[in-house]
Amino acid sequence: MSTRHLDISPDVRAALASGRPVVALESTIITHGMPYPHNSTMAARVEAIIRDEGAVPATIAVIDGRVKVGLSDGERETLAQAKDAMKLSRADIAFAVAQGRTGGTTVAATMIAAHLAGIRVFATGGIGGVHKGAERSFDISADLDELARTPVLVVSAGAKAILDIEKTLEVLETRGVPVVAFGTDIMPAFWSRSSPYPAPLRLDSAADIARFFSARAELGISGGMLVANPVPEEAEIAAETMAVHIAAAQAQVDKNGVTGKAVTPTLLARILELTGGASLRTNIALVENNARLAARIAGAL
């Protein structure tokens, strides 16, 4: 393991050296998850929220072959406007490094870079997981494998409701990834606060989550864990409303033969259209909410 391909920003480096809390942020949500300029304002807001909570944000991306841990305002804006950015996961982050390319890092690739830099807490919107129809398509996100192997705590709003949440929970359990719902007994479903599935574990404070994470490490249990933080009530879209749009978006993806990396961004973009922008507002609200909790957990650690 070497950090020779990493550029850690001065403020992130200083925070890590002095043991102050740092929260990693992904960038596929910037390059592929939201349209410009919403992606740009979201990315800046989320960083500000983390600073307000007394932690230092470290947005992670690959720019011209360098793994950036902590972006300048200019770099963040360049990424938000980039038209040819790759979507980088475990399989291809090193490709982008070797070829001098630029890309947004998924949950999996962000975990890899965060761990290399020594960051333990990471906030995102929703993780990738087992797609609906995976029994035919075999489409299971590399995020799940990464959670099983890399010791980073990921705060999300659950698995995106475009996924098969039940199968996603099964895979996480098999791979030994704890799923902790924050302040609820029910697994949240990204745009909605609830799903038909009970949460595997529940904790009600950032300090309790930090203690759980530390206990895992002390027991020598490898890998990361997932915190599922329900979207704030005022930003929620009812699960029944979302189900209709998700089904329509999924049908279109199936009909058009969309596969691989393109599936998640295509579904998200179609759902944005179908909800007339409401899904985007909710997505932004839940990312902000996750950043706040992640900063508190990082503080508690």
CA 115 – CA 121 distance, rounded (Å): 9
User: Shortest Cβ distance from residue 157 to ligand PSU (Å)?
Assistant: 8
Residue placing its CB nearer to ligand PSU in the complex, 9 or 141: 141
Residue placing its CB nearer to Mn ion in the complex, 89 or 289: 89
Question: Segment near ligand PSU (CB under 6 A), from 38-46, 74-82, 136-144, 194-202?
Answer: 136-144
* Residue 188 interacting partner from Mn ion, ligand PSU, none (CB closer than 5 to 8 Å by kind): none
* Residue 69 interacting partner from Mn ion, ligand PSU, none (CB closer than 5 to 8 Å by kind): none
**Annotated catalytic, 26?**
yes
264 counts as binding ligand PSU under rule CB under 6 A? yes
**Around Cβ 262, how many Cβ atoms within 10 Å?**
13
Give the 3-state DSSP-derived string for the chain, with helices as H, strands as E and coil as C.
CCCCCEEECHHHHHHHHCCCCEEEECCHHHHHHCCCCHHHHHHHHHHHHHHHCCCEEEEEEEECCEEEECCCHHHHHHHHHCCCCEEECCCCHHHHHHHCCCEEECHHHHHHHHHHHCCCEEECCCECCEECCHHHHCCECHHHHHHHHCCCEEEECEECCCECHHHHHHHHHHCCCCEEEECCCECCECCECCCCCECCEEECCHHHHHHHHHHHHHCCCCCCEEEECCCCHHHCCCHHHHHHHHHHHHHHHHHCCCCHHHHHHHHHHHHHHHCCCHHHHHHHHHHHHHHHHHHHHHHHC
Of positions 23, 24, 29, 239, contacts ligand PSU by CB under 6 A: 29
| Whole-number Cα distances in Å, 52 to 23, 44, 46, 291 | 12, 12, 10, 11
User: Shortest Cβ distance from residue 114 to ligand PSU (Å)?
Assistant: 13
Residue placing its CB nearer to ligand PSU in the complex, 51 or 261: 261
User: Shortest Cβ distance from residue 110 to ligand PSU (Å)?
Assistant: 7
* Residue 195 interacting partner from Mn ion, ligand PSU, none (CB closer than 5 to 8 Å by kind): none
Residue placing its CB nearer to Mn ion in the complex, 61 or 130: 130
The CA radius of gyration of the chain, in Å to the nearest whole number, is: 18
Please name every residue paired with 22 in a beta bridge, in sequence order, or none if there are none: 56
146 counts as binding ligand PSU under rule CB under 6 A? no
Of positions 103, 128, 178, 188, contacts ligand PSU by CB under 6 A: 128
Of positions 12, 26, 86, 230, contacts ligand PSU by CB under 6 A: 26
Residues in contact with Mn ion by the rule CB under 5 A:
139
Residue placing its CB nearer to Mn ion in the complex, 124 or 229: 124
User: Shortest Cβ distance from residue 266 to Mn ion (Å)?
Assistant: 11
112 counts as binding ligand PSU under rule CB under 6 A? no
- Amino acid occupying residue 284: I
What is Dmax (Cα atoms) for the chain?
53
* Residue 29 interacting partner from ligand PSU, Mn ion, none (CB closer than 5 to 8 Å by kind): ligand PSU
User: Shortest Cβ distance from residue 86 to ligand PSU (Å)?
Assistant: 12
Of positions 66, 149, 167, 261, contacts ligand PSU by CB under 6 A: 261
Q: Please pick, among 53, 160, 236, 288, the residue that the annotation labels catalytic.
A: 160
Among 174, 127, 135, CA closest to 152: 127
- Amino acid occupying residue 55: A
Please identify every residue annotated as catalytic: 26, 160
Binding stretches for ligand PSU (CB under 6 A): 26, 28-29, 32-33, 106-107, 124-126, 128, 141-143, 261, 264, 268, 283
